[in-house]
Structure 1
């Protein structure tokens, strides 16, 4: 297959070039025109990498916008939050159908992969895998979790992780891509260490929420004399951290020193008044920062909205125009998520052909003098006229 006469955001730096893409067996082979029976003329189109949604909780798709006005703790606390009660009462088929709908929504938004924090132990993994069978094209990195949490006094006393929980965790790791923990405040130091040790031994991914709100940050200092970020890095040693909305300079320096990635979810944080992540500081330190949309019950997985919000609110927070560059934001939505999840997502030779085709003739994009800035600020899902995943058309066609 040859797609010719198009503009391309090529490589990890998203360099704008003009030319053709040759695809064979779902893989990008070169950027030259060769002879082929299947040729598409893409004049007026721009090819960009598919989006990667680096943090979701798709299981709560069943209860969109319930609990408006509730706090983070009231809504999503893993033990007594409203979400927990809803999922316990829901039927399996209802959860599967809701998750499948969420996946179809993400696919139409141009998301080729998502990384889900899958609660519910082995049953939770079964439910998401059943939902994935109903949606062609989208890929999932599934981080499971054993539903065992420490009480406050057990945290303070630094109780050990029970052997039966460790055995359950080991079985879980056989059927998922890694572990996604709720937060350091729900686990003792000993437990974090054992979980981290086991996951690394199995060669799987490990991630945890950290410093999401002032309340969780203050609780950590009060009960352990350390920040959530500090405890997570010292004892768990994750591949990446989620949120860091309330992370301070010391936290960020620790993240840098240990080579840990970060996933931010700005619109979801705004929904719960949790704050805004210090993203310019993260980038200035050279951290790899990716974007996620977080809980489906809170937020929609619309990456054009996510990018626009991040770009503009960062200007408000920093008190000057564009402390973030549009290309940096687009990398967070495409390239950086791939780096954290070990997915080669750039448009490069020998990479999978996971491509979004943007119609530059659309009225909201016409007249652009900086197409990346225009995409980040003005892009809409209707500008995506075709989506290719693994070299196959999954939406539209040129």
Structure 2
């Protein structure tokens, strides 16, 4: 049988079934989808491929899903480090955004972020930022899968004049993306402290009608909880419950401030949590109770947050941090084992975004969103368990190749769709602009 591509690997880690490692197997890819997974000798006998690749020192895994980021904020990497969240936002990030955010800013920042994510094995990202139509266009142009957030906040920005304008522009973009094979949309009200009740009620109705996720920061800090009590007389999650916003398509980001009752209630709602451990650590936001959420049956995915608060978009680093933090927070070394952490960074992210039928695991019929990780470095020797080494020992510099829907976006560490020298030039120009008024430490 003639097919497009045959990828032979020392190990294939499909994620589903769980804890599975396939030795000396091959992935048969045709028309951008996986059509077979079988031992290499059987693949050689069964298929003739236009392209045959051997990865005899690698593990092939599903591409990572970065379930929460603000891609364009890569241009703000490092401008306001070592400050608590509200000071970071109010005194530094929002003033810079007010001055500089534009279509060009979003285009260049998103390109930089996508290059970094591809080089780190990410094949899909869930974004929340202004000018989402620009993010959508750039992702489609360069071949990366994306869910773009139809952002909404109560106050005006460079993109929209107020809640009705945000919704109007967001709905227009949703309609434009209906038939896009790589890019979809989610409603993205920013946070409980920045979105009032009426817009949330409108989003609730529209999300149900259009079958779209709702992607929102929630219970990120103690200050957010205090503001909710002060302005609404209740904790933010309780307010969302009363507005009937929570549900199976709700994606809650951060969730560091949770009571046992709230964990049970959120589990009952069927929603997903996106854990951003490094951003939470850097901003001293708190610790997401990942082990308790998983034990309660909550789908927990992994995100990096934006590079302005992380300061990278390294999902492999987040995956390792998530596994280690869960053990420390729960005082249980068995909490979030390696195979669970890998699932959080792949299939759980796909599930949170409503994409689990297409991506998140290497299964026949799914899109060929694949990441190859070299495991022959000294730092990943000796190798007893490939899953353990991917999670606890390997780094993103060992990602060698990346495919999205069968299209190769990274080949032997070289980007195939993005121009790295152009990225360097544009990023340097933005640094000059952003520091032209006041040089920051």
Quote the residue 2:206 is aligned against: 198
1:304 aligns to what? Answer: 316
Q: What SS class does the counterpart of residue 360 from structure 2 fall into?
A: coil
Indicate the residue corresponding to 2:108 in structure 1.
Answer: 97
Change in CA separation of 1:187 and 1:360 when aligned onto 2, cut-off 3 Å: closer
1:255 aligns with 2:270: no
Partners of 1:267 and 1:306 within 8 A in 2: yes
1:339 to 2:351 alignment: yes
Alpha-carbon distance change, 69 to 397 in structure 1, aligned in 2, over 3 angstroms:
closer
- Report the TM-score, using the length of structure 1 for normalisation: 0.88
CA–CA distance in structure 2, aligned partners of residues 185 and 337 of structure 1: 25
Unpaired segments ≥5 residues, structure 1:
151-163
Q: Secondary structure at the match of 2:217?
A: strand
Partner of 1:251, secondary structure, is helix
1:65 aligns to what SS in structure 2? coil
- Going from structure 1 to structure 2, the CA distance change for 1:131 and 1:377 (only over 3 Å counts) comes to same
Structural mapping, 1:351-362, within 5 Å: 351-362=366-377
1:372 aligns with 2:387: yes
Give the counterpart of 1:274 among 285, 291, 294. Answer: 285
Aligned with 2:21: secondary structure? strand
SS at match of 1:31: strand
Partner of 1:179: 187
C-alpha separation in 2, matches of 1:64 and 1:336: 27
User: What corresponds to 1:154 in structure 2?
Assistant: none
Instruction: Give the ranges of 4+ consecutive aligned residues of structure 1 lying more than 6 Å apart after TM superposition.
Output: none
The equivalent position to 2:406 in structure 1, one of 379, 384, 391, is 391
TM-score (norm 2): 0.80
Q: 1:118 to 1:41 in 2, by over 3 A?
A: same
Structure 1: distance between partners of 2:59 and 2:343: 16
Distance 2:361 2:172 in 1: 29
* Structure 1 residue 167 displacement after superposition: 6.3
**Separation (CA, whole Å) in 2 of partners of 1:277 and 1:345:** 23
In structure 1, the partner of 2:74 is 61
Aligned twin of 2:20:
15
Secondary structure of the residue aligned to 2:379 is: coil
Q: Name the CA distance, whole Å, in 1 between partners of 2:11 and 2:257.
A: 39
Q: What SS does the corresponding residue of 1:15 show, helix, strand or coil?
A: coil
Q: Which of residues 127, 132, 135 is equivalent to 2:139?
A: 132
Residue 50 of structure 1 corresponds to 63
Task: Measure, in 2, the Cα distance between the counterparts of 1:67 and 1:118.
Answer: 18
CA contact (8 A) 2:9 2:59 kept: no
Q: Deviations over 1:213-235 (max 9, x none)?
A: 01111221233232211222331
Output the CA distance in 2 between the equivalents of 1:303 and 1:168: 30
Judged with a 3 Å threshold, the aligned counterparts in structure 2 of structure 1 residues 360 and 188 are, in CA distance, closer, same or farther, namely closer
Residue number in structure 1 paired with 2:218: 210
Moved more, 216-225 or 101-110: 216-225
SS of the aligned residue for 1:357 comes to strand
CA distance in 2, matches of 1:178, 1:44: 38
CA apart distance, 1:127 = 3.3
Equivalent pairs, count: 377
d(CA) in 1 for partners of 2:139, 2:26: 32
Contact 1:213 1:275 in 2 (8 A): yes
TM-fit CA distance, 1:397: 5.1
Q: Distance in 1 between matches of 2:203 and 2:91?
A: 24
Are the equivalent residues in 2 in contact too, given 1:2–1:39 (CA < 8 A)? yes
Q: In 2 relative to 1, CA 200–137 (structure 1 residues): closer, same or farther, beyond 3 Å?
A: same
Stretches of structure 2 that go unaligned for 5 or more consecutive residues are 157-161, 175-184, 414-441
Name the CA distance, whole Å, in 1 between partners of 2:63 and 2:19: 12
In structure 2, the residue matched to 1:73 is: 86
